[in-house]
Structure 1
Amino acid sequence: MDLREWLTARGGIAHRSDAAEHGFAPRQVRGAIRSGAVRRLRAQWVALASAPDDLVAAAAASARLTCVSLARRRGWWVPDRAPGGLHLQVGPNAHRHRDDATLHWGAPLVDCGPRRLTASVEDALAHIAGCCLHEDARVIWESAVRIERLDVEALRLVEWREPRSRALAAEVIGLSDSGLETMVIVRLSGWGVPLRQQVRLAGRRVDIVIGSHLVVQIDGYAHHSSSAQRGSDVAHDAELRLRGYTVLRLSYAQIVHGWEDVERTLQAAIARGLHLPPRQRR
């Protein structure tokens, strides 16, 4: 395997110390750089032309990818209104600046060593807590818990340095099936009615139960697109109604762009006692 093949297998970019440990002598690396087969990024990194732009930028700045940039790279659900651009973690004594990036300064919670171009999950979550609106941060944290299979109790034991991180660690529960579900939970959490997530009713899980009998099902971008699945959803909704539940289905557009209308509908349902058992309704 030559250097280019090795770099390809590693995602197109690597620390030169890793290359040396895998048998590529410094002269081989220098020769590959001179020939244009690979490019040098600062003193310690080499990359192919096809290497991901965000990792190349991190290497060029002697930084690590963090915050929403790491969230997007790892596939966490990031709301559209969350901050864009490149987010980099830099040490407290870093001297290099990037005008086109948001820099997160300070010593890391988890020191991953000089050969990593991505911050730890914990550091990324801390930066998200400080960089995003609370609701958006909660959405991303819940997604991270699900995708990374994080233990919620262990997350609460992290020595978070900022109040916003500690607050989110106390709030996150890891039950949301989607970012949209987290949005709804956050928005309803101050209403003074009990909320439960991922409750099993009539043989299937439902997204949210308000009180005991108001069911909210959330349909995302491409939710249940097949006719067979849609028919199954309709049949389950009918079974819930026969058992005394009220079922409301919400779409992505309603939650993200039409929340005021959703809020009015939910308030009207609660005012009519639809969140209560049928025998308790007036």
Structure 2
Amino acid sequence: MQHAPFVAWLMQTGGVAHTSDARRAGYGTREIADAVLRGHALRIRRSWIAVRGADAATLTAVDVGGRLTCVSALAPLGMWVPPAAAADGRVHVSVAPNASRFAQAGLRAHWGAGPAPVAPRAVREHPLNVLAHVSECLELVDALAVWESAVNKGIVAPAVLRRVKWRSVRGRQLAEATSVLSDSGLETHACHALRALGLAVRQQVWIAGQPVDLLVGERLVVQLDGGHHLEKKQRRRDITHDSRLRLMGYTVFRFDYHQVLFDWAHVESVITTAVAQGLHA
């Protein structure tokens, strides 16, 4: 059973390792070969070894000379995985820009490097690089939800996200949006932006039995939908409350968090136009 210590070491490394790392850990060619011969390990490419039953997606990444990243790296890191992205089934792999081409059937290749350096033989990307690839791969709403989950799970702090030198506009947008949601919340962010225009804005004013998010002047209600508003029961309550407000003579506008964080120009235009029409008085 001379292979047993080697297999235990291999499992501790995450199930996949380069043979040179195994030799540095004190395991010789004979021990590695014995583990393979007995079916406890298998070879991937020429110099990689994996424990039997290792994560299939990681093996796929190693097999093409890349690292697991983006959607495929979320669950191992404890981040939220968007259902549509999970259902896609492709393995997301980061590869060096100068890497040789390979068959990409069943793969989603990410050729760009992330902001964080990674060890040459790492099999999974750094969490910050995973977030960078997510920012470029998913719709903004799903990407923001993933970034929020990284903060909520304690994987990365909002202050860290703000200081990272993101290489894309989307990365910078998501870092700012995640910080807003973590630090002050969607409602406070919108309130500050509207007050900066000189508007009289109050938060959480009770009207028709429920609080409204923002009341501009006396008659203009602005409701802001976060993720929980996507639930059917909550959505029905929102529609019922909006109907009551309109019957009481209020003008009601409802915006989702994608609009507030990524399309503020539209939100501002709607509200300022309503004020110009006197709908707030």
TM-score, reference length from structure 1: 0.65
| Structure 1 position 30, deviation (Å) | 2.9
In structure 2, which of residues 118, 128, 131 is the aligned counterpart of residue 125 of structure 1?
A: 131
Matched residue count: 225
Partner of 2:91: 86
| Structure 1 position 42, deviation (Å) | 0.9
In structure 2, which of residues 232, 239, 244 is the aligned counterpart of residue 264 of structure 1?
A: 239
User: Does residue 110 of the first structure (1) align with residue 116 of the second (2)?
Assistant: yes
Q: Distance in 2 between matches of 1:15 and 1:75?
A: 25
User: Does residue 67 of the first structure (1) align with residue 70 of the second (2)?
Assistant: yes
Q: Distance in 2 between matches of 1:253 and 1:172?
A: 16
Identity across aligned pairs (percent)? 29
Q: Cα RMSD over matched residues?
A: 3.9
Q: Which secondary structure state, in structure 2, belongs to the residue aligned with residue 155 of structure 1?
A: helix
| Structure 1 position 19, deviation (Å) | 1.1
User: Does residue 100 of the first structure (1) align with residue 103 of the second (2)?
Assistant: no
| Structure 1 position 211, deviation (Å) | 5.6
Q: Distance in 2 between matches of 1:125 and 1:270?
A: 41
Q: Which secondary structure state, in structure 2, belongs to the residue aligned with residue 102 of structure 1?
A: strand
Q: Deviations over 1:64-115 (max 9, x none)?
A: 1111111122121223233632111011112233310100002342221222
Change (3 A) 1:266 1:189: farther
Q: Distance in 1 between matches of 2:202 and 2:59?
A: 50
Change (3 A) 1:20 1:135: same
Partner of 2:53: 50
Partner of 1:20: 23
TM-score, reference length from structure 2: 0.65
User: Does residue 255 of the first structure (1) align with residue 255 of the second (2)?
Assistant: no
Change (3 A) 1:45 1:171: same
Kept after mapping to 2: 8 A contact 1:58/1:65: yes
* Runs of 4 or more consecutive aligned structure 1 residues displaced over 6 Å after TM superposition: none
Q: Deviations over 1:135-184 (max 9, x none)?
A: 111110011122134232221221211111111111112756xxxxx9xx
Kept after mapping to 2: 8 A contact 1:88/1:104: yes
Kept after mapping to 2: 8 A contact 1:142/1:174: no
Change (3 A) 1:214 1:80: farther
Partner of 2:204: 213
Q: What runs of 5+ residues in structure 1 fail to find an aligned partner?
A: 177-181, 196-209, 216-240, 275-281
Partner of 1:76: 79
Change (3 A) 1:43 1:253: same
Change (3 A) 1:80 1:267: farther
Q: Distance in 1 between matches of 2:125 and 2:33?
A: 28
Kept after mapping to 1: 8 A contact 2:191/2:203: no
| Structure 1 position 254, deviation (Å) | 6.3
- Specify the code of the residue in structure 2 equivalent to 1:27: R
- Specify the code of the residue in structure 1 equivalent to 2:99: A
Kept after mapping to 1: 8 A contact 2:19/2:49: yes
Partner of 1:159: 165
User: Does residue 137 of the first structure (1) align with residue 143 of the second (2)?
Assistant: yes
Partner of 2:9: 6
Q: Which secondary structure state, in structure 2, belongs to the residue aligned with residue 213 of structure 1?
A: strand
Q: Distance in 2 between matches of 1:254 and 1:106?
A: 35
Q: Distance in 2 between matches of 1:6 and 1:131?
A: 35
Structure with the higher fraction of residues in helix conformation = 2
Which is higher, the Rg of structure 1 or of structure 2?
2
Partner of 1:226: none
Q: Distance in 2 between matches of 1:24 and 1:145?
A: 39
Q: What runs of 5+ residues in structure 2 fail to find an aligned partner?
A: 194-200, 214-224, 253-280
| Structure 1 position 18, deviation (Å) | 2.1
